[in-house]
Amino acid sequence: MNTFENLQLGFNKELNAYHVGSHPKNLYGPVHYTLSMGGKRLRPVLLLMAAEAFGGNTEHAMPAALAIEIFHNSTLVHDDIMDKADLRRNQPTVHREWNTNIAILSGDLMILKSYEALNKLDTPHLSSVLSVFNRITAQVCEGQQLDLDFENNNEVNISDYMDMIRLKTSVLLAGALEIGAIIGGASKEDAKKIYCFGEHLGLAFQLQDDFLDAFGNKNTFGKKIGGDIVANKKTYLLLKALELTQGPYRDQLTSLMNNKSIDENEKIAQVLQIYKGLKIKELAEDAMLKHYDKAFASLKDVQLDEIRKHALYQVSEKLIHRES
């Protein structure tokens, strides 16, 4: 069995060799820029790992891995526009480096290119793979819309939020594992179980993203610390704080959210002070670990030799301790 690092190197080699096009320059340039920004390549590598775990050939699964990564990056380009984000992986976002119209169009092109890559998949299970891919790409859009809806909805609770991040973030990671399992020849039952593993892994991953946005290190996180706080994004941390606050704390928190003239750094500092008083950091860590535990439990139920699951367990352990 290959390690995550070996498959990551192999995937990056394929991605670097992938020719997306060149003319017009302002359409294809942002696609090259986005795909070359780096990142862990978590989703495509997990797809390759799942394919290999069930006896498949990683080379045969590579077109699906490319499709997942290209589609994932298209969502980042569009998300950054909606979030008005300036940085992605410590580099200017596409709409800042070019402009919003170009970013929208290049993101759209990447969706098409993901299907183009998937169409090169040589497997008798192509219909099943397409069914999963279509399902999860639609769900990502559903999750993004819910995220936008939440901006003007003051009745959002943690249950609503968890459903939103399941759709927006978790299903793509889970679907990548399911697609890899299908390509590898897994039974329907095992493909669903490994999807469940990925779903909880994805939920933990997003909760950790929320956590790092508030408590991480900018140099390793790749984005501005406190960006969610400035934007009043309804993250697990904010919703948990609103759930727990009463009296002066709640008044202060809602006042900070409604204050459009406060200095950004001052707002971040004050909100983090409230989080400290409510032990939000510890509560968020507990929520993350619960989903990691559920992920491990789902993986344990998959009918594979433990040696074939070992690399997946290792990846999960690394994600628990990630800083970016």
In this predicted model, what pLDDT tens digit does every residue of 238-288 receive, in sequence order?
Answer: 999 999 987 777 888 989 988 989 999 999 999 999 999 999 999 999 999
Report the number of secondary-structure helices (H) and strands (E) in the chain: 17, 2
Q: What is the pLDDT of residue 134?
A: 98
C-alpha to C-alpha distances, 206 to 138, 199, 211, 212, 287, nearest whole angstrom: 19, 11, 9, 10, 11
DSSP class of 166: I
CA 65 from chain center: how many Å? Answer: 15
30: its two tokens: 């942002």
Domains of the chain: 4-320 (1.10.600.10)
C-alpha to C-alpha distances, 175 to 97, 114, 214, nearest whole angstrom: 31, 14, 28
Q: Report d(CA 241, CA 94) in Å as an integer.
A: 33
Whose structure tokens read 């017009």?
A: 24
In angstroms, the Cα distances linking 98 to 26, 89, 104 are: 8, 17, 11
Number of neighbours of residue 37 by Cβ within 10 angstroms: 16
pLDDT at position 223 is 65
**SS3 label, residue 224:** coil
- pLDDT values of the chain reduced to their tens digit, one per residue, 324 residues: 889 999 999 999 999 999 999 999 999 999 999 999 988 899 999 999 999 999 999 999 999 999 999 999 999 999 999 988 888 888 999 999 999 999 999 999 999 999 999 999 999 999 999 999 999 999 999 999 999 999 889 899 999 999 999 999 999 999 999 999 999 999 999 999 999 999 999 999 999 999 999 998 766 666 678 989 998 889 999 999 999 987 777 888 989 988 989 999 999 999 999 999 999 999 999 999 999 999 999 999 999 999 889 989 988 888 877 766
Amino acid 34: pLDDT? 96
Instruction: Give Cα separations from 276 to 160, 259, 279 (angstroms).
Output: 24, 21, 5
pLDDT of 221: 62
